[in-house]
Structure formats: structure tokens, C-alpha cells
Amino acid sequence: MAEYVDIEQAVTISGLRVVLPPGIPGPWAEAVKAILHVKKIPFTRVRHDRGNYAPLIRWTAQSSAPVMVYNDERPRSVWSDQLFLAERLQPNPSLVPSNIEERVVMFGLSNELCGENGFGWSRRLMLIHAAAADPNATDEARKGMLTFGSKYGYSPATAAAAPAKVGQIVKSLAERLESQRSRGARFLISDKLSALDIYWAVFAALIEPLPENLCPMPSEVRRRYICEDPVVRGAITPQLLTHRDFIYHEYLELPVDL
């Protein structure tokens, strides 16, 4: 497992520090790690202590991870802010297209994956609902999950609507990939790697995680990540999963270091 420092230590050092959840391949966290890996930007991993949020709140004024903090600049906890910081710290290789039409498409689809009410958000609602409805869950565990769900506006109604939204986003990506493949392109945008390829590669874990030898994770997390919902399974294509594997094997770190 990778080495982490505590928040108290991270506050005293300079450079790029990234607050991450050790041992769990959360897609937002894996996206940050993947972007920094592609750009070869060094950073210090900071442990996200989910049992005590107070130090993180004091440092970053919020309680979620991942968070990027560079020197004395403001903390960045939003995916797009994190991408722009990485682009500034290391412009090459750029993961943002220079062509404005391609850039609009990339940020639009990336937001559908990473943004509020998008793919990751909606899969979280599904996971929260499954955990809260688990008859084997303790009252304490159920209460904790519902508290967590309040960050995502969880209710039975929002959870019920989530699979259709996830399926719609996955279908749009599948159509985009097929369009690109029909003209001989191997990437979702233009003819080279973009942030969208990375975002899809890491968020695909919320439907079908990488095998254990490539991404070890707690068995309970793996069980919950695998999506059996028929609407979502009906939208995913073998080509999308093959694209995920291509991006990981050609550009990202394997096995995933949690």
C-alpha cells in the first residue's frame, strides 16, 4: 500500500498534497491519481480519516476527498478545478483539447461522469439505497449511510430515478466511442488521450471493477461496486469496457496502488 501522511503533517509541508481515502478505489480519487500519473506530477498522499473529519474541515473547509492543495493556494475539491490545476502545473501532455468544439464536448461528457447529478453521483445514490435497505445492516450502519446520503440528496425517489440517468450517460458514451471508432480514432475525443478517457476508465469501476490482481479492494466494496441493475447493464457495451482496459494498460498505473 502507498505511503500516506496525516493532515497535521501535510499542513506543514509545501508542494502538491492530495487527500485520498486509503484502500478504497473511489472514482474521483482515482481520477486525480491517474491525471497526476499521466502528467508525472509528484505529490504527497494525505490520509482521509473518515472517522474524524475535523482536521480536514479545518484545512479545506469541507469534508470530502479527494482534495488537492498546492502550496498556499486554495484547496480544490471539485473535479474540474483539480484538472485545471494539473494542467497548469504540467501543461504537457495536455488532457484538455485545444479545439473549442472538442473541448466543449469533453467537458460536457466529463461533467456527466463526474459532476453533481451525473454518473458517479447517481451510482452513489444507488449504493446508498442498497445499503440503507439491506435487511442485515445494523441500525447504526443504516443511520450512518443515510447521513452520508444527505450529501447527495438521497431519498427513495432519487434512488429510483438514478439507474435511468446512469444508463443514459453510459449510452451516450457508447455512441461517442462507436462514432470515434468508425473514423479510426481510439479515444473518446479527437485522436489522443484526454481527461474524458481517464474519467471513463476510473468511473467504470462503479459498474464493473478491474480484476482483483489489478485493483485489490475490500470484498464488500467490490460486491457493491458491481452493478446488476438491468437498465445500467443494458447500456454498457463490451467496447466501453475494452476502452477502459486500453486506457489503464497503456497510460495508467497497474496494479492500482491504494
Distance of alpha carbon 174 from alpha carbon 191, whole angstroms: 17
Cell output for 46: 494525505
Q: What is the largest CA-CA distance in the chain?
A: 54
Has residue 256 got a pLDDT over 90?
A: yes
Contact (CB, 8 A) for 194 and 188: yes
- 218-248 pLDDT, tens digit per residue, is 999 999 999 999 999 999 999 999 999 999 9
- 129-140 pLDDT, tens digit per residue, is 988 888 777 777
Contact (CB, 8 A) for 82 and 66: yes
Q: Which of 207, 206, 202, 208 is nearest to 258 (CA)?
A: 202
Helix H or strand E encompassing 174: helix 156-182
Q: What is the pLDDT of residue 211?
A: 97
pLDDT band at 123 (very low <50, low <70, confident <90, very high): very high
φ and ψ of 16, to 5 deg: -90, 125
- 39-77 pLDDT, tens digit per residue, is 999 999 999 988 899 999 999 999 999 999 999 999 999
Distance of alpha carbon 107 from alpha carbon 17, whole angstroms: 25
Burial 16-26 (b: 16+ CB within 10 A, else e): bbbbbbbebbb
Instruction: Work out the mean pLDDT of the chain and round it to a whole number.
Output: 95
Q: What is the pLDDT of residue 16?
A: 98
Contact (CB, 8 A) for 24 and 1: no
Contact (CB, 8 A) for 201 and 193: no
**Confidence (pTM):** 0.96
- 163-207 pLDDT, tens digit per residue, is 999 999 999 999 999 999 999 999 999 999 999 999 999 999 999
Q: What angle do CA 211, 213, 215 make, to 5 degrees?
A: 65
Q: What is the pLDDT of residue 236?
A: 97
pLDDT band at 149 (very low <50, low <70, confident <90, very high): confident
